[in-house]
Chain A
Amino acid sequence: MSRLAQLSDAELVRRCRTGESEAWNELVERYSRYVYAICTRGFRLSDEDAEDVFQDVFTRAFMRLETLRDDSAFRPWIAQLTRRRCLDAISGGGREQPLEEIAVEEGSSDLNEVEEAFAVREAVAGLSDACQDILDRFFAQDQSYRTISDELDIPAGTIASRIARCLRKLRDELEGRNEASEGSSG
């Protein structure tokens, strides 16, 4: 993990304002999947439209970074920018869509899933490397206990317990984040 990858959004935004291009690259890296997922999963844009919105969102975000009032609110800010640009793409593009359908999509379960998946991804990044690795192997790569055991050289009988403990840490991490965000918004 790079040094910048460990910094908070607020710190990266602050560095962007001082002209540190690597900080901007890190923000793009951090949020590219998120923005793309909102486009494709939340608003069902075609790959081509999603590419256009993606480019436009990051260009606008860069140009308007000075208007962001709370540096720690980069994520909801870029999400809002993305949603608006997706709606523009839908209303102005090849696909005609009734307004009521757009309203439903804005609060759709797909969008919520994108938000949830991103929150989980962030929380996973807060775990130890060992936990990140074993969770990735089991849940993302669909590796069997035997394969994990062979590749990590740990007893097969302990894998399920290790995963369960890592999941508990992940839950604690997520709950901690939720409490922190509720505290900061209240």
Chain B
Amino acid sequence: MVARSSRDSWDEAAGVAAQAQAISDRAVKLAQTDEKAWADALAVLREAEAGSDGDARRDFRLEQKLERAAAVPLEIAALGADAATLATLVGERGDGTYRGDASAAAALAAGGARAAAHLVRVNLGMGAEDPRLARAHASEQAANDAAARMLEH
């Protein structure tokens, strides 16, 4: 909205608005995928709780489902970083009238990235050395930095 409103004063506004729309579309799809991935993982988790120990195939399936349940929020965290970065660009170069809206968008995006990174940590469980944790943290950090830049002005 802020980028679209800046078309008269900023020649990159239309291209930035198109990117914002693409990020928004992606977020909706990922949220739906995330819900399904977690539901799938939960179903196998419950099956595991109810069943006997030592079922290797079930444990493998559970591991796969949890991996998937971590992969989707990892993408969402990266998307949150992109949204916050884009909001910062709009806030800094777009129409100043809407700077507050851009700041709010950056803060929301950072919140989304933080929540998603938390889900990655929860779903990956013990694997502290897993590189995906570092990636989730980097996305969270990038989103936070972008939002902080907007909110401190």
Chain A residues with CB under 8 Å of chain B are: 138-139, 142, 144-147, 156-157, 160-161, 163-168, 171
Contacts and interface: CB of A to CB of B under 8 A. Distances in A.
A161 B85 contact: no
14 contacts: A139-B22, A145-B81, A145-B85, A146-B139, A156-B142, A157-B85, A160-B85, A163-B19, A164-B16, A165-B12, A165-B15, A166-B15, A168-B14, A168-B15
A168 B12 contact: yes
B18 interface: yes
Interface centre among A144, A147, A166, A167 (most CB of B within 10 A): A144
B86 interface: yes
Contact of A171 (B14, B81, B85, B86): B14
Contacts of B13: 164
Contacts of B78: 144, 146-147
B26 interface: yes
B130 interface: no
B31 to A, nearest CB: 14
Interface in B16-48: 16, 18-19, 22, 26
A165 B11 CA distance: 8
A160 B89 contact: yes
A151 to B, nearest CB: 14
B133 interface: no
Contacts of A164: 12-16, 18-19
A119 to B, nearest CB: 16
Given A138-B22, A146-B142, A160-B19, A167 B85 contact: no
A138 B16 CA distance: 12
Contacts of B72: none
Contacts of B16: 160, 164
A156 B85 contact: yes
Given A138-B22, A160-B89, A161-B89, A144 B82 contact: yes
A139 B25 CA distance: 11
Given A163-B15, A166-B15, A146 B86 contact: no
A168 B16 CA distance: 10
Nearest 9 CB-CB pairings of A with B: A164-B15, A167-B15, A164-B12, A144-B78, A164-B16, A145-B82, A160-B89, A144-B82, A160-B86
A160 B75 CA distance: 18
B79 interface: yes
A136 to B, nearest CB: 13
B11 A168 contact: yes
B151 interface: no
A156 B146 CA distance: 12
Contacts of B82: 144-146
Contacts of A144: 75, 78-79, 81-82, 139
A144 B79 CA distance: 7
Contacts of B18: 164, 167
A138 B79 CA distance: 11
B15 A146 contact: no
Contacts of B79: 144
